[in-house]
Amino acid sequence: MKREKGDTYAETLMLLMQNYSIEEIASARDLKPVTVYSHIAWLIKEKKFTEWHRFLTVYEIEAVAGALKNVNYTGELKPIYEALNEKIDYGKIRLAIAVLELENE
């Protein structure tokens, strides 16, 4: 039986609330960490997960915000990654963008 898409986010959220790390969630759910980062970004945007500080520093958010001002952001993460000299990984960039979008609502 195929699961509803929202169920996968709910499962990730349940594990987050039990203080699992991204790697632990990926392992427990047989997912790649990048997928878990995507789930967390969605949960942040939907205001279902507010503890983003567990995975991001203020410095990382500010760095991504600065990079966004210097690139033509079209949804692709690679230009941001390159603007940050490859120092912040894609997953964290995705989370930072979710936090910034939420702050700009």
- Residue ranges per structural domain of the chain: 5-51, 54-103
Q: For residue range 46-91, what is the model confidence (pLDDT) as tens digits?
A: 999 999 999 999 999 999 999 999 998 888 999 999 999 999 999 9
The number of beta carbons lying within 10 Å of the beta carbon of residue 13 is 18
Percent of the chain with pLDDT over 90: 85
Q: Which of 30, 53, 52 is nearest to 40 (CA)?
A: 52
pTM for the whole thing? 0.88
